[in-house]
Chains A and B, each alone.
Chain A
Amino acid sequence: MCLGVPGKVIEVFEQDGIRMGTVDFGGITRAACLEYAPEVDIGSWVVIHVGFAISVVDEEEAARSYALLAEMGNLEDIDLPQDADGVRAEHYRPKATP
């Protein structure tokens, strides 16, 4: 239920009298209705469910709460190594099978 995916608004336009946006989900884009997120503009992060923005991502809250999590995991950096295409650069080495 409620498959909601976070994406970044890269365009805002009107269609049939309602406010719509083009949302970028890490490389792919789709149109979504922004009527339920009236405060967003280009650059905002939103959660999209069945073609509608149902919530705005509170980026400050996200950073604050994630910093606490990272501390718990004793992490200094949380970037996953990736090459330009987003393909993982680390490669798996199988352990010796007993």
Chain B
Amino acid sequence: MSEPDATAQAVREFALRCPVPLPPGERVVLGHGSGGKLSAALIRDLFVPVFGGGAASELGRLGDAAVVEVNGIRLAFSTDSFVVTPKFFPGSNIGELAVNGTVNDVAMMGATPLFLSAALILEEGLELEVLGAVVTAMADACQHAGVALVAGDTKVVERGSADGLFVTTAGIGVIADGVEVGPERARRGDVVLLTGPVASHGVAVMSRRAGISFDGDLASDSAPLTSLVQAMLTAGDVRCLRDATRGGVASVLNELAEASDVSMTVEEGAVPVLGPVRAACEMLGLDPLYVANEGVAVAIVAPEDADAVLAAARASEYGVHAAVVGEVGDAPAKVWLRTGLGATRPLTMLAGDQLPRIC
């Protein structure tokens, strides 16, 4: 059987077994990876049902990492892929991102990350110097984050089949007794806290994309947030934690509101943004609340502990600009934005792909 036939045969067999009807002929589009509505739909409508979960399963819980229990010990386990272009951009690079991204996913469950694996997919023709720089960056990031890289794999694909290189990391960490963090725990009266200024990463990457390049004091905020998170957990009742990556803060807030079945209101003026990042967003017509971050967490905190948790965040290396930006209200699950003028409008999930607005 020739290759295309074998693929077509497998697709037919799958279609017969799949519990979810998929529209025939529909293709993956970039929006499926941007962290917004399309991504969520893909996970909810294809991946979760197929892998035998429902909303109640661990996969269906949609936390940043999975929490599993082995012999009475709770572990947080997560994986993430990194496909960013260009590979090196102001402030960081794909290697550092790959380490910090998975470290943070694990840390967001209240766990201390311990071990990582890394799988590299390399495009034929990639300069060895570039590969060397990437893995050196990964090693440095592991040391800085306090994790050990203990397993790895490498594959090479033909020229044109991968954009230089892709990195996938997986990570595992231990959750101490008594730590309970989860997306479904937000309650009315809780406070919404951001650990740092938003949009820095997405803007830094975009600033190096051909056709949109500009210069300035821009740098990715990629950072390991383990100690920041631990300091916050020690200071008070942190109910939910999520890493605000693709789709930005707005997408995370919508996910948390949905998981906890609560509403949230965010004060637009309270959201911290660094000056040059704001300027870049203005120039490109981007909304900072939807731009990717790599070193910012959203925390939902019990109101009586808000001051203490905020102080703990601000005392931590990567939380100096932490700020309270909103509050949690009753169901139904919806996120609201109070604008500078005092009007309130819904802050919806990212629809499709946020392309720079030009015209």
Q: Do chains A and B touch in the complex (CB under 8 A)?
A: yes
Interface residues of A (CB under 8 A from B): 1-3, 5, 25-30, 50, 82, 85-88, 90-95, 97
A5/B269 in contact, CB under 8 A: no
Say yes or no: A97 contacts B272, CB within 8 Å.
no
- Contact present for A94 and B326 (CB under 8 Å): yes
Tell me whether B216 and A27 are in contact (CB under 8 A). yes
Assess the B280–A28 pair: CB atoms within 8 A. Answer: yes
Q: Does B283 contact A27, Cβ atoms closer than 8 Å?
A: no
Interface string of B215-258 (1 = CB under 8 A from A): 11110000000000000000000000000000000000000000
A76 to B278, alpha carbons, bound, how many Å? Answer: 26
B327 touches A88 (CB 8 A): no
Q: Would you give 29 A-B contacts (Cβ < 8 Å), ordered by A?
A: A25-B280, A25-B282, A26-B275, A26-B276, A27-B275, A27-B276, A28-B207, A28-B214, A28-B217, A28-B218, A28-B279, A30-B213, A30-B214, A30-B215, A30-B283, A50-B358, A85-B197, A86-B274, A86-B275, A86-B278, A87-B197, A87-B274, A88-B270, A88-B323, A91-B324, A92-B269, A94-B191, A94-B324, A97-B327
Known: A1-B359, A87-B197, A97-B329. 4 other contacts (CB 8 A): A30-B214, A85-B275, A85-B321, A97-B189
**Are A3 and B278 touching (Cβ within 8 A)?**
no
Find chain A residues with CB under 8 A from B328 CB: 97
- Chain B's nearest CB lies how many Å from the CB of A65? 20
How far is the CB of A71 from the nearest CB of chain B, in Å?
A: 19
Q: Are B324 and A92 touching (Cβ within 8 A)? A: yes
- Distance between Cα atoms of A88 and B328 in the complex (Å): 22
User: Is B208 in the interface zone, CB < 8 Å from A?
Assistant: no
Smallest distance from the beta carbon of B196 to chain A beta carbons, Å? 9
Which of chain A's residues have a CB closer than 8 A to the CB of B282? 5, 25-26
* A85 adjacent to B274 (CB under 8 Å): yes
Q: Which residue of B lies closest to A1 (CB)?
A: B359
Among the interface residues A85, A90, A95, which one has the most CB atoms of the partner chain B within 10 A?
A85
List chain A residues, Cβ under 8 A from B303: 94
Interface: B357 (CB within 8 A): yes
* A-chain residues with CB within 8 Å of residue B359 when the two chains form the complex: 1-3, 50
Q: Complex Cα distance A2/B329, Å?
A: 38
B313-324 interface code vs A (CB 8 A; 1 in, 0 out): 000000001011
Complex alpha-carbon distance, A92 and B340, angstroms: 12
For chain B, the count of residues having a C-beta within 8 Å of the partner chain is 37
Distance in angstroms between the alpha carbons of A34 and B351 in the assembled complex? 36
B44 at the interface (CB under 8 A from A): no
Tell me, in angstroms, the Cα distance from A94 to B359 when the chains sit together: 37
Whether a CB of chain A sits under 8 angstroms from the CB of B259 is no
Query: What residues of chain B lie closer than 8 Å to A25, measured between beta carbons?
Result: 279-280, 282-283
B270 close to A91 (CB less than 8 A): yes
- Bound form: Cα–Cα A86–B218 in Å: 13
Cα distance A25–B203 when bound, in Å? 14
Residue of B nearest to A50 (CB): B358
Q: Does B325 contact A (CB under 8 A)?
A: yes
Q: How far is the CA of A82 from the CA of B213 in the complex (A)?
A: 27
Does B80 sit within 8 A of A, measured CB to CB? no
User: Once the chains bind, are A3 and B285 in contact (CB under 8 Å)?
Assistant: yes
Q: Which 4 A-B pairs have the closest CB atoms?
A: A86-B275, A28-B216, A27-B276, A92-B270
Central interface residue in A1, A3, A94, by most chain B CB within 10 Å? A94
Closest residue of chain B to A31 (Cβ to Cβ) is B214
Chain B residues positioned under 8 Å from A2 (CB to CB): 359
Complex: A95 Cα to B303 Cα, angstroms: 11
How far, in angstroms, from A70 to B191 measured CA to CA in the complex? 34
Query: In chain B between 273 and 332, which residues have their CB closer than 8 angstroms to a CB of chain A?
Result: 273-276, 278-280, 282-283, 285, 303, 321, 323-329
